[in-house]
Structure 1
Amino acid sequence: MDVEDLFPDWPRPPYEGFTAEDLFRVPGLPAHTQLIDGSFVYRSRQSAFHTTTNCLLQNGLFRAAPDSLKVVREMVVVLGRRQAPEPDIAVIKAEARDLHADRYEGRDVVLTLETVSPDSEERDRCRKPQLYAEAGIPFFWRVEPGPDWRPVVHTYELDPEARAYVPTGVHRGRLKTTVPFDVDIDLTGIDRL
């Protein structure tokens, strides 16, 4: 049996791949479809760890963010013609926030955060940070489950010369940093959610 027999309605990519505009034009795409390297990437169902961790971090960032920044969750960020990933959480410039928006531009993003899932380990650890860095997004955080199933947050800052991230910390139990703004989140709070 061919894949076309199993999924007859799946969009067929053009020879040069899909574009960011296709992501918003092709009818019937599943929710949270991303565009990476000209290919649609579909997200699987998320675990309780993934959802709860993102809720904890989103709430902590929301409380800490200055008025000049806004926290958004699961919004596509257009980084180029063939790149439109959807970070789990992004911090954007307040002037870019539009309640009617279905996407944001990379130039408006200050921080992206990815909580690693089994279906997206390679993308979350390697490809997406590379894309965010190449787009000039100043900060990236990667979240993994610790041995006790509490979040472990790896923080990175952009080296603008290299267009790559350099590690700035590994946070267990408490996420405390001063960049991109003062943040203090009790990561053990996942136990109470």
Structure 2
Amino acid sequence: MSAEIAPAWMHTQITAEQYDAWTPEQCAGIEIVDGMVSVAPSATKRHNRLARLLANALDHAAGPDWNADTDFDVRLQDVPLTNRRPDVVVYRADTIDISPTRPEHVLLVVEVVSPGSETTDRVVKVDQYARAGIAFYWRVELAATGVPLVYTHVLDPASGLYRDADVFAGEVKAVVPFPVTVELTII
């Protein structure tokens, strides 16, 4: 049995122009960090359900100026190319047909932590989203009890860093960036 070797494009930096020429199928399940392809493992059904519940609630609560959705890239920088694919993105409704989605289009990103993404979601993405100027970052984790915990963070414009805000266990009752309530224990 021979070992499979990763394709050559996984060993060289990808430019924004190259990435933009790829098909949606080629872009699915990956992120580009500093020009390098980063393959994300398939999400669990629980992970996807949490993301969908949050996206639906945020979309409903956001009003006509904002949309909430899942599974698309946010272009954090062009050189070197960094595209992240947050689990949920709240973005300006008037940018729905603009691609790529840029940080200035985004109000809130949500990441649902999975095995294998702990450091990236807790440390790396927090820094990247803050440097990009995205005002709100939420991180969802499953407690040992199985209850989802939602850690919310707000960008401090003076420092350019996120400061910790509310933590919700099971039910989110947030007032910023807009009032929203969502029950996450119904999974």
Post-superposition shift, 1:40? 0.8
Q: TM-score when scaled to structure 1?
A: 0.86
Q: What corresponds to 1:53 in structure 2?
A: 50
Name the SS for the 1:171 alignment partner: strand
Q: Distance in 2 between matches of 1:26 and 1:143?
A: 30
Shift of 1:121: 1.4
Change in Cα spacing, 1:24 to 1:186, as seen in structure 2 (3 Å) is: same
Q: Note if contact 2:71-2:87 (Cα within 8 Å) is conserved in structure 1.
A: yes
Question: Which residue is 1:153 aligned to?
Answer: 150
Give structure 1 stretches of 5+ with no counterpart.
Answer: none
In the alignment, does 2:132 pair up with 1:138? Answer: no
Shift of 1:150: 2.5
Give the distance between the partners of 2:6 and 2:33, measured in 1 at CA: 22
Q: Which residue of 2 aligns with 1:86?
A: 85
- Using a 3 Å threshold, how does the CA distance of structure 1 residues 8 and 54 change in structure 2: closer, same or farther? closer
**Gaps in structure 2 of 5+ consecutive residues:** none
Deviations 1:6-54 (A, max 9, x none): 135341443xx32333333357736121111221111111112211111
Match of 2:21 among 15, 20, 25: 25
Amino acid at match of 2:142: P
Alpha-carbon distance, 1:79 to partner: 1.0
Is the contact between residue 29 and residue 41 of structure 2 (CA under 8 Å) also seen in structure 1?
A: no
Q: Which residue of 2 aligns with 1:172?
A: 169
Q: Secondary structure at the match of 1:119?
A: coil
Aligned residue for 1:64? 61
SS for the counterpart of 2:185 is helix
**Match 2:112 to one of 95, 111, 115:** 115
Name the CA shift for 1:38/1:172 in 2 (closer, same or farther; >3 Å): same
CA contact 2:92–2:106 (8 Å) conserved in 1: yes
With over 3 angstroms needed to count, the CA separation of the structure-2 counterparts of 1:68 and 1:8, relative to structure 1, is closer
Please report the TM-score for the alignment, with normalisation by the length of structure 2: 0.89
Measured in 2, the distance between the counterparts of 1:38 and 1:158 equals 26
1-side partners of 2:104 and 2:29: how far apart? 21
Question: What's 2:9 paired with?
Answer: 11
Residue 102 of structure 1 and its aligned partner are, at CA, apart by: 5.6
Task: Name the % identity.
Answer: 32
- Answering whether residue 125 of structure 2 is matched by residue 128 of structure 1, we say yes
Which whole-Å deviations, capped at 9, do the CAs of 1:101-125 have from their partners, x for residues lacking one? 6631111000000001112211111
Letter in 1 for 2:178: F
Residues 83-112 of structure 1 deviation map (CA, whole Å, 9 limit, x = unaligned): 1111010000111112xx663111100000
- Tell whether the 8 Å contact from 2:52 to 2:70 is kept in structure 1 after alignment: no
Q: Could you say if the C-alpha distance between residues 22 and 126 of structure 1 is closer, same or farther in structure 2, counting changes exceeding 3 Å?
A: farther
